[in-house]
Amino acid sequence: MAGLDPAIHRRKMDARVTRAFAPAFDGLCPRMTVTIGNGMIQARRIGHATFETPDLDQAIDYFTQVVGLVLTERDKDRAYLASRIGALSVALDRGGEARCTRLAFEVAADTDFADASRRLADAGLASERRNDSAPGLSEVLTLNDPKGTAIDLFAQWRPVGAPADVAGAGVLKLGHVAFVVGDPKAMAEFYTTVLGFRVSDWIDDFFVFLRCNADHHAVNFVRGEQSVLHHFAFEVRDFAALQNACDLLGRKRIPIAWGPVRLGPGHNVAIFHRNGDDHMVEFYAELDQMKDEALGYWDPRPWHREYPQRPKVWTGDSRRIWGLPPGPDFERRGRPKT
């Protein structure tokens, strides 16, 4: 099993790796310098997330009939679900506790996993190479992040199903996953120095947004008492699809915990609800994109309040552009410390 000793990590972190956003870690400066490609490994895209669930049948029903994924494989204790274009998006394992156990990220096709494994070992990070770990993936390089979530890196993938008509919200892709952690600054440092992420925004000093491609964020970390899943999110086509998702949740008697709202960091329009495993799930559209890292600002949009809109620290009510504040159920578990 791949593992991480945080003490070894702190002592032996590769000195050749420069922090991508030093001001983000030292004072949370509103103007953060954009640097790309400083990680030991450069993650390019979030692929899929793996969840343990006590009720596999209920979880499959939710992801197919509400989210709009396609069941591609299942056995007694495991299931795999893909997007409407056949990209693996969610893996489900039967377990005693509802939780997220793994994240998969795509890296460049020419990534040398043997060399990457050696560089990780030099920095005190254990890793292992695995084959056929999930449908559509051949070889993966696996390591653990500081909170113990397994990170599967893959350089090649193939569709696990043909394009299909779907039920539910008909999401386009898994967009991001957020966790409550004791120290979001330390998690941001790991993801930037090891996996090549860049800091997109902070909310005060307790909530960080990290990207690995043009999309504003692929992972988020918010400060809290214990390490738990905060929420995960799927992109839908546009605002009309988001409205349809609201109607879908209404028909299925699933309460909307927050939204519709246009958020500040990322500027996405979003709705949030809880699934049968009590996880908070977001549907969103219109997420900010940084199409040119050298320019260092988000592609301008009419709803921005700054031109150009750059990575920054959001405070107070500025963290949402419009919409009501979240309802009491939104952060019922893993409430951040503010």
* pLDDT per residue rounded down to tens, the chain (338 residues): 444 444 444 334 333 333 333 434 345 543 343 344 467 899 999 999 999 999 999 999 999 999 999 999 999 999 999 999 999 999 999 999 999 999 999 999 999 999 999 999 999 999 999 998 899 998 999 999 999 999 999 999 999 988 888 999 999 999 999 999 999 999 999 999 999 999 999 999 999 999 999 999 999 999 998 899 999 999 999 999 999 999 999 999 999 999 999 999 999 999 999 999 999 999 999 999 999 999 999 999 999 999 999 999 999 777 899 999 998 888 776 434 44
Q: What is the DSSP letter of 316?
A: G
Angle at the Cα of 50 (from 291 to 4), degrees rounded to 5? Answer: 85
Please report the pLDDT score of residue 187 as a whole number: 98
User: What would the two tokens of residue 263 be?
Assistant: 């958020």
Give the amino acid at 177.
Answer: V
Residue 109 CB contacts under 8 Å (≥ 6 apart), including other chains: 155, 156
Q: Are 187 and 259 in contact (CB under 8 A)?
A: no
Contact 321, 264 (CB under 8 A): yes
**Domain 43-154 coded CATH 3.40.50.1000:** no
Q: What is the pLDDT of residue 332?
A: 76
Superfamily, domain 173-322 = 2,3-Dihydroxybiphenyl 1,2-Dioxygenase, domain 1 (3.10.180.10)
Rounded to a whole number, what is the largest CA-CA distance in the chain?
A: 55
Q: Cα-atom radius of gyration of the chain, to the nearest Å?
A: 19
What contacts 34, CB < 8 A, 6 or more positions away?
198, 290, 293, 294, 296, 311
Query: What letter would DSSP give residue 21?
Result: T
| Separation CA 71–CA 91 (nearest Å) | 10
DSSP 244: H
Domain boundaries, the chain: 43-154, 173-322
Contact 137, 88 (CB under 8 A): yes
CA dihedral 221, 222, 228, 231 (to 10 degrees): -80
Give, for 231, the enclosing helix (H) or strand (E).
Answer: strand 228-235
173-322 matches 43-154 in CATH topology: yes
Q: What is the pLDDT of residue 58?
A: 98
Using DSSP bridges, classify how beta strands 150-154 and 99-107 pair: parallel, antiparallel or unpaired.
parallel
Question: What pTM was computed for the model?
Answer: 0.89
Position 33 scores a pLDDT of 38
Rounded distance between C-alpha atoms, residue 239 and residue 338, angstroms: 31
pLDDT of the residue at 70: 96
| DSSP bridge partners of 141 | 129, 153
- Residue 108 to residues 212, 224, 294: CA-CA distances in angstroms? 12, 34, 20
Give the DSSP letter of residue 12: H
Task: Break the chain down into helix, strand, coil percent, rounded to 5.
Answer: 20, 35, 45
Please provide the distance, in angstroms rounded to a whole number, between the alpha carbons at the two ends of the chain. Answer: 35
